[in-house]
Each structure stands twice: as C-alpha cells, then as structure tokens.
Structure 1
Amino acid sequence: MNTEALLLRLRDELDEGGLRGSFLVRDLRTGQEIGIDPDVQYPTASLIKIPLAAATLDRIHRGDLDGATRVEVTPGVAATPGLSRFRHPASIAVEDLLYLMMAVSDGTAADALFGLTPPAEVARQVRDWGIEGISVRNQLGELSDTPAERFDAADVHLAHSLAIGAATAGQGHPVPQLDISRASAGSARAYTDLLEALWTPSKIDEPVAARVRALMAENLLLHRISPDFRSDATNWASKTGTLLNLRHEVGVVGHADGQTFAVAALTESRVPAAIQPEAEALMARVARELRDHLRAAA
C-alpha cells in the first residue's frame, strides 16, 4: 500500500474509533519519517516527565545537584501510583525520585523534582538543547485537580463529556490542564525530536542521555502502544501520559537487525469514558502500521 493510501485509511480508522491524534514515526538511522498531523500540539500530561528527568540528570552530571541528596516528601492526593499513596512522610534520594517518576509515573516524585528544577528552568534547558515545541508550564500536582476528581466513579463520564465538548477550535479549554496555552504541551514531532536527541549524538551529554534511556526502559506502564512494540527481538523504552480524554505514549523501539525507530502517539478521544481499552488498541495499531510501513521502505 502506498503512503497516501495508508494514511487515508488510518485517519478513517481513528475517526471511526472516536480518536484524533498527532502521530510520528522516525527512522533514527536515516531520518525518514511518516506521520499523521505530527505538528498538532496537545497538552502532554506525564510526557513532561521526560524533559524533567533529562534536565535533572543534566544538573547531576554538571555537579550542580547531588543525586544522593535526600528530599523530604509528604504524601499528597492519592491520584497517581507511588508516593501520593504513602501513609507517612518519606525521605528519598533525588535519583530514586527519578526512578519512581519514570517507572510508575509518580506525580508526587515529579513535583519533588520540580521543586529542585522548576518548570521554567526545565523549559530553558530543553531549548538550549535545540529542541523546539515543548512547553513546560506546570507541576504535576495540577493534573490531580480536574473535573474528574469532583465526581464519584459512577459519574466520571460527565467529566469526560465536559473535556470533549468544551474545547475551542483553537485548542483552548475552560479546564486549564486541557488548554494548550496554559498547560504543558507538545506535538508528536517535538517529542520525536527529543527522543532522537536522547538516542543519537546531540547537545545532550551522553551520560545524561544514557540514564534517561535506561529510566524509560524501566517503565512499568505498558498497557498502551507498548504491546505492539515489545518482543524478544526488540528493545522498547517509553513514557505514557494520561489526562481525562487524552492518551499518549512516546518511545523508541530497537530491532535485532539494528533498525531503530522513535514513535510518538498523542491522542484525544471523543468517547466519554475513563477506561477505553479499544482506544489503547487502536492507537497502538496505528503507530505500529506507521512503523511497519517505514521499516519496509528502509
């Protein structure tokens, strides 16, 4: 199937499944790429933990921060796995906070790290590395203060209906976490650029990039596009992001034959439901078919 026909079919499948999104797959050896609306920006939720991890590790590498420094963490609202569900305050080293943030997407750990390297500093560092299109505006605790937290579990679909129906044509939104001018945001292209900078020689020092790659490989949240990229013949490292009707994942797949692809899938659902395995499967299939097409052309 030629590229144009493939993209048309995949767009139709996404629409039929109630999804729209920003997808991009890039061959990290050749630079060839294929995508669907790769420059459309979305609020990125927990994807922002990748630049936060890189900026924190850069400070450790430069000697500006000691990875063994212990940070006092107070449990927060039990909205994400990890420290927010602790019953007592804890003292945790910076490098261990990095692990919790990336392995289980611990938002409380992320905010402890933001306390050391604020969003504006993370954004400046990303720009200094020559990566454009990633905004870093908020701490992660703000993601636990959406309409979804104001409804009982049986009524959470009402929060999703608000998320779906209240967006403006310019991607503004009365829910600030869904407004790309107020929330941390990015596109598939911007996050693919970041992945490329982490996996190939770039302005990011190699010890920093190597540690981010290792942390992403330790990600334990593998329910989204990961099932379509993990196998005995591949290496897969990724990070998810979730907020109301947004479902994202970005990662890098390395094949046994040496081919390596950066994959970014940022999606928005029109279905008012919190749990949507069909949406997860659809976005994974679209991302895999884009990868398969690019791999076959190499």
Structure 2
Amino acid sequence: MSGNGGARARIREVFASAGVTGWLHATEVDGVHDVAVDADTPVCTASVHKLCLAVTVQRLADEGRLDPREQVEVPAAGRTPGTTGLSVMQDPVRMSLRDLLLLALTVSDNAAAQVLFERVGLEEVNRTTRSLGMRRTVAVHTPRDLVELIEEDGAGDLTYLSADPGALAGVRVLDPARTSRSTPREMTSLLAALWRDEACSAGRAQELREALALQVWPHRLASGFPFDDVRVAGKTGTLPTLRHEAGVVEYPDGGRYAVAVFTRAARTAANQPAADAAIGTAARMAVESLRRRAAPGSRRAATP
C-alpha cells in the first residue's frame, strides 16, 4: 500500500537540495503501508549487497553446508583492497567465518567479504535472493571484481572523473545493467524478512540483526534518528558518486520499519556530507509518514 504523495514530494526535495538523484523505499516490517520514491528502479548496490551475502551464509549454516565457526587463514598477500578491517592490516590472520561476516557487516570489510564470497559463490547468493522472491536482485561482482573494474575504468582517479564527467558513463560498476544490482523495494523485502525471522532461522537472523546494529557509520541512515530510544541497524554502500544505506529502524513502542535509500551524486567528490545527510533525512521523513498513518492510539507519534 503506497505512501502519500506529500511525503514523496518532500523526499524528492531533500534529494534535490543535496544534489543527488535518490531512490527510496520504506515499509512497515509488521504491516502493509509503505512509502516509495522510484522504488522499483534498478540500482547499483555496491556494499549493500553484503546483506545478500550475509543471509546466504546463514542459510547455508542452517542447512549444515557451512560451519560458521570454521577457521580460515587469510594471508596478507593478495587481500582485496579497502579502507577498513583486514583490507588494511599487514599480517596474516586466522579467524572464523562468522567473525569474517561480522567484519563485512560492521565495517564493510572488503577483504573479509571476499573470503566469504569465494567460500559460498556468487550463484549461491543469487539462489538465495531468488528463493526469497527477489527477482531483480543479482550479484554480479565480488568486492575484488569491483575494485579491479574501478581501476580498469579509471574511476579510482576522482580528479580524472571531475575533469571529464562524461567518463562516468563508461564506469561499469556505476551501471545497474553491468554490476550487482537490486531495487529499493527488494532490499526492504529482504530486511523485513530478516526481522521477521523468515530469511533464515530465528537464531541466525538474530545474529545478523545484532551485527547490523553494530555498524560503525552514523552519518547516513542513523543521522536521521538521533534518539536514545530508537535503534537503527543497517548496511552502507559506497562507490564513486554513489552513497547508499539499507536498514531497519526500531521504536520503543514496537514499530519496526525497513528503509532502503540509494543515491547518486552529480559531483564526483569523495566527501559529500550533504548527500550522506540526505539519506537520514529522507529516511526519517518516510518513517514519520508511516507512523502518522498507524491507527490512532496504537503507537506514539515519531519524535519531531
């Protein structure tokens, strides 16, 4: 059941003011109401696709095809580049698959995620999303693939992209037809299923919810909900010009809302705080709209 036009118009204004194109879907985890802003448009998922990887790992564990406690060696040489976690460490590491998954979700560790993608395989991730009804969600690239394609297409040099904006058209990881992709609506469907214990077993779903709540980046989705009694759990995604986050916002009265916000900036600058903040602002507007539509007296109004 679609959200009202007033909320959609205000959200579009937030995106425009931040200099981004935005796509959003917000839905009640335990209801039918939603707010959609171009929510069925295919988008590049970037590291948000690690959510699909995480659910795949947990489902394989449920089936006994993977032991989350299995210890693996991660050599220093040849690690997938990144800015966090194992990607920036200099020595060999031995750790469990479940701890690698924790790093992939909490700090978006590319090296940890690469080990898991290689362990389960892209096609297994795609089987998982298809089984959950996510027909437009496709894993095409691992983190290592993304890094290599960015370098091949010259997108690692933001100065070059700034000087020649037309070069962005040739960057494959920024084209949903050529890279890992989904839609905002399908990502919220995954999150809602995870919060309802439908994506995997209840115990393993709880593990993922706890991990996502430990995510360290407060400047996107969580920035829209700076309240001590509101819990935000999510996963970010970042590539040149792209800033995303998908997560769940939980209120103390029991209200639970899955939100996915994907943005693409006109500028190629690495630091774009207005774009980051727009994600939280747009998410808050969508959730407040959903809470206003709740039956009178069933839940308290959202904090202004």
TM superposition shift of 1:238: 0.5
Structure 1 distance, partners of 2:147, 2:112, is 14
Give the corresponding residue for 2:300.
none
Give the corresponding residue for 1:185.
181
> Which structure 2 residue ranges, 5 or more long, are not aligned?
295-304
- Residues 182-221 of structure 1 aligned to structure 2 (within 5 Å): 182-202=178-198, 204-221=200-217
Q: CA offsets per residue over residues 101-138 of structure 1, 9 Å max, x none?
A: 11110000000001110111111122123333211111
Provide closer, same or farther for how the CA distance between residues 160 and 212 of structure 1 changes in structure 2, counting only shifts above 3 A: farther
TM superposition shift of 1:252: 0.5
Tell me the TM-score normalised to structure 2 length: 0.88
TM superposition shift of 1:243: 0.5
> Which structure 1 residue ranges, 5 or more long, are not aligned?
168-172
RMSD (Å) for aligned C-alpha atoms? 2.2
Give the corresponding residue for 2:52.
51
Q: How many percent of aligned residue pairs carry the same amino acid?
A: 32
Give the corresponding residue for 2:34.
33
Tell me whether 76-85 or 180-189 shows the greater mean CA deviation.
76-85
Tell me the TM-score normalised to structure 1 length: 0.89
Q: CA offsets per residue over residues 51-90 of structure 1, 9 Å max, x none?
A: 1111111112221111221222133254220111111222
**Contact 1:160–1:274 at 8 Å: present in 2 too?**
no
Tell me whether 258-267 or 194-203 shows the greater mean CA deviation.
194-203
Structure 2 distance, partners of 1:79, 1:115, is 17
Give the corresponding residue for 1:113.
116
TM superposition shift of 1:46: 0.4
Give the corresponding residue for 1:130.
133
Provide closer, same or farther for how the CA distance between residues 236 and 86 of structure 1 changes in structure 2, counting only shifts above 3 A: same
**Contact 2:80–2:143 at 8 Å: present in 1 too?**
no
Provide closer, same or farther for how the CA distance between residues 231 and 149 of structure 1 changes in structure 2, counting only shifts above 3 A: farther
Give the corresponding residue for 1:6.
7
SS at match of 1:227: helix
Structure 2 distance, partners of 1:95, 1:142, is 23
Structure 1 residue runs of 4 or more that deviate by more than 6 Å after TM superposition: none
**Contact 1:47–1:240 at 8 Å: present in 2 too?**
yes
Tell me whether 258-267 or 88-97 shows the greater mean CA deviation.
88-97
**Contact 2:26–2:258 at 8 Å: present in 1 too?**
yes
Tell me whether 248-257 or 59-68 shows the greater mean CA deviation.
59-68
SS at match of 1:292: helix
Tell me whether 112-121 or 67-76 shows the greater mean CA deviation.
67-76
Correspondent of 1:235 among 231, 237, 241: 231
TM superposition shift of 1:213: 1.1
Residue 276, structure 1, aligned to residue 272, structure 2: yes
- Residues 92-103 of structure 1 aligned to structure 2 (within 5 Å): 92-103=95-106
